[in-house]
């Protein structure tokens, strides 16, 4: 590998951003399904419910203002694997149907830079119902340049000024993943930090992920008069940093703010931003900040500067919500860049209920602890936690063995709650590559509870998900279900398939003998 002695770049123009872009374009949805880029923390049913509650509150606020005739556009930036969008739509439709009150209609638009992702969402089996109802559409969107949205399903274009309702923007792990400026504050002066890259020769044949893994970083400083100029659009927040900070490296979201400005032009009524990231909104957390740390996970992520975004928007009249307590892994904000933002009472109340009092970040912290305690828990703790997590499929993956161990001593009520929980989980399950495994776990538990019709249903789903390589364990459980349901021909067929794959399968041989002895 060739080693250069350090090419110097302006931070926001360094090739790392091109490598990031190339990584997502090459990997497509596999960036998330291969478990390289984290997606659970911002895509689980808990955070989807919190977002759906805030969106529902927003719809209620618009209805209270008499604004029910125009459709509300919900725009997700960098929608990733698509799991969050699906979960939000499930929860939002539940709230709409339960309330049975007059609300403006809505459509959810998923966007990403990679065209393959748009194609993947559009053809995903879990999305088809929402597409057919006109609730879901897709657009390729470059956050650095684009000014309009070309909708893939409707075949129409949203241009500046065409939306009458405020735009609702969802941006998870977005502001930390697009180019940022890097400045340094020292002795009341602003310097720009250039990045020096070594061991990442652009002429080599390394893949983007390899370039990121092999790069060596250092920084060089130079005066940056443009940030201090009166003409700089974010001069107010830069002045604040000069006054309040010392020996501090600041990631500045100029590109993110510019993206928000372009999106704002789409609507005549402003926008509401719901966003989650590893990012600080408190000025104190930027004091004496070290140079940024690149967190690698196939691509990379940095820290989002929510303080700058909050300050800029509030200067323009927005009302912003962040938690009064400190976040641990995920900082969630709601920013209302609309006329009379305090009148959006239901939106702000939803943030209070779903984020401030106890939110997705709190849940994620508890879940990390929970995953290590499962083997010691009883059903009276397991089932309430599953409800708290909104019947998340991840729960079943981590808890199925423990639930199985407890089923022999479970009460009828507990077994009914397990059965109901499985059905609720499956009704909002976003089809992913582990679908067969989750269906198998559900089928096994139903089988052990003697709910054979349900067990047969889930086991058949597991079988369909793995048509090329049938699992003898699935086939045997299906044989047992069919036996108990007195479906003799199916039971025999599954039993023989098990023995064809594993002639020494004792349980299957015993089951076959029971048929032959009749």
Instruction: Give per-residue pLDDT as tens, 305-332.
Output: 999 999 999 999 999 999 999 999 999 9
Domain membership flag for residue 191: no
Report pLDDT for 25.
73
- The length of the chain is 518
pLDDT per position as a tens digit, 136-162: 999 999 999 999 999 999 999 999 999
Boundary (domain end) residue, out of 324, 357, 390: 357
Tell me, yes or no, whether 310 and 374 share the same domain: no
pLDDT digits 0-9 by tens, 109-121: 999 988 889 999 9
Which value, in Å, is the radius of gyration of the alpha carbons in the chain? 26
Q: Which two tokens stand for residue 90?
A: 């499930």
**Residue 30: what pLDDT?**
67
What confidence score (pLDDT) does residue 14 get?
Answer: 87
Non-local (6+) Cβ contacts of 358 within 8 A are none
Residues 369 and 352 in one domain: no
Residues of the domain holding 286: 22-178+256-357
Residues 29 and 121 in one domain: yes
Last residue of a domain, one of 312, 341, 357: 357
The count of structural domains within the chain is 2
Write down the pLDDT at residue 4. 43
Residue 8 in domain: no
- Tell whether 483 and 509 lie within a shared domain: yes
Model pLDDT, residue 464: 87
Average pLDDT over residues 57-86: 96
**What pLDDT score does 33 carry?**
58
Residue with tokens 């059965």: 419
List, for residues 2-54, the tens digit of each pLDDT value: 334 568 899 999 888 888 878 777 766 666 555 555 568 888 999 999 999 99
| pTM score above 0.85 | yes
Split at pLDDT 50, 70, 90, the class of 434 is: low
199 within domain boundaries: no
DSSP state of 279: E
Query: DSSP letters of 443-463?
Result: HHHHHHTT-HHHHHHHHHHHH
Q: What is the pLDDT of residues 496-512, one digit of tens each?
A: 999 999 888 998 898 88
pLDDT value for 32? 57
- The DSSP bridge pattern shows strands 136-140 and 295-297 to be unpaired
Same-domain pairing of 348 and 371: no
Q: Catalogue the E-assigned strands of 224-291.
A: 248-252, 271-277, 279-280
418/507 same-domain check = yes
**In a domain? residue 345:** yes
User: Does residue 196 form part of some domain?
Assistant: no
Cα(first)–Cα(last) distance of the chain, in Å?
72
Three-class SS of residue 192?
Answer: strand
Per-residue pLDDT tens over the stretch 352-378: 999 999 999 999 999 999 999 999 999
Q: Please give the average per-residue pLDDT across 197-204, as a whole number.
A: 64
Alpha carbons within 13 A on the beta-carbon side of 228: 13
DSSP SS3 for 470: coil
CATH number, domain of 497, equals 1.25.40.10
508 plus 375 within the same structural domain? yes
Residue 53 lies in a domain: yes
pLDDT digits (tens, 9 = 90+) for 83-109: 999 999 999 999 999 999 999 999 999
Check whether residue 371 and residue 353 sit in a common domain. no
Average pLDDT, the chain: 91
Distance, in Å, from the CA atom of 415 to the CA atom of 493, rounded to the nearest integer, reads 30
In a domain, 394, yes or no: yes
Distances (CA, A) of 298 to 115, 206, 214, 301, 366: 19, 13, 12, 10, 26
Q: Is residue 223 part of a domain?
A: no
Which of 311, 337, 357 is the last residue in one of the domains? 357
């Amino acid at each position: 590998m060739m080693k250069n002695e350090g090419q110097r770049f302006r931070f926001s123009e360094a090739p790392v951003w091109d490598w990031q872009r190339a990584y997502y374009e090459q990997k497509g949805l596999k960036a998330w399904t291969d478990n390289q880029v984290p997606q659970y923390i911002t895509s689980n049913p808990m955070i989807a419910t919190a977002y759906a509650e805030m969106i529902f509150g927003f719809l209620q606020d618009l209805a209270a203002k008499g604004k029910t005739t125009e459709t509300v556009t919900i725009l997700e930036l960098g929608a990733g694997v698509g799991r969050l969008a699906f979960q939000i739509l499930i929860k939002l439709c539940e709230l709409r149907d339960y309330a049975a009150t007059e609300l403006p209609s809505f459509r959810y638009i998923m966007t990403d830079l990679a065209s393959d992702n748009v194609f993947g969402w559009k053809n995903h089996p879990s999305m088809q119902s929402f597409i057919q109802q006109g609730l879901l559409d897709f657009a390729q969107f470059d956050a650095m340049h684009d000014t309009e949205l070309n909708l893939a399903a409707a075949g129409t274009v949203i241009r500046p000024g065409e939306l009458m309702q405020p735009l609702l923007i969802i941006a998870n792990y977005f502001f930390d993943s697009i180019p940022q400026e890097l400045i340094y504050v020292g002795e009341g002066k602003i310097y720009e930090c250039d990045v020096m890259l070594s061991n990442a020769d652009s002429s080599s044949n390394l893949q983007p992920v390899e370039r990121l893994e092999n790069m060596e970083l250092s920084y060089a400083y130079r005066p940056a008069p443009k940030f201090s100029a009166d003409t700089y659009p974010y001069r107010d927040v830069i002045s604040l940093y000069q006054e309040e900070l010392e020996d501090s490296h600041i990631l500045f979201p100029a590109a993110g703010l510019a993206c928000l400005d372009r999106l704002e032009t789409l609507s005549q009524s402003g926008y509401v931003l719901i966003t989650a990231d590893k990012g600080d909104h408190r000025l104190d957390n930027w004091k004496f900040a070290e140079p940024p740390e690149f967190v690698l996970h196939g691509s990379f992520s940095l820290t989002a500067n929510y303080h700058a975004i909050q300050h800029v928007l509030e200067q323009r009249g927005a009302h912003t919500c962040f938690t009064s307590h400190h976040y641990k892994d995920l900082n969630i904000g709601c920013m209302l860049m609309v006329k009379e933002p305090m009148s959006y009472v239901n939106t702000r109340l939803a943030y209070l209920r779903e984020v401030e009092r106890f939110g997705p970040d709190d849940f994620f912290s508890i879940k990390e602890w929970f995953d290590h305690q499962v083997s010691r828990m009883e059903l009276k703790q397991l089932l309430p936690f599953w409800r708290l997590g909104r019947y998340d499929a991840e729960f079943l993956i981590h808890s199925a063995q423990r639930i199985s161990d407890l089923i022999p001593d479970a009460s009828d009520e507990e077994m009914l709650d397990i059965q109901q929980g499985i059905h609720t989980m499956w009704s909002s399950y976003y089809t992913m590559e582990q679908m067969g495994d989750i269906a198998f776990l559900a089928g096994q538990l139903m089988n052990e509870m003697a709910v054979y019709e349900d067990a047969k249903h889930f086991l058949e789903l597991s079988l369909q998900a793995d048509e090329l390589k049938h699992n003898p364990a699935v086939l045997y459980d299906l044989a047992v279900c069919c036996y108990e349901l007195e479906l003799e021909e199916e039971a025999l067929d599954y039993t023989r398939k098990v023995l064809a794959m594993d002639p020494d399968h004792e349980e299957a041989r015993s089951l076959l003998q029971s048929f032959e002895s009749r």
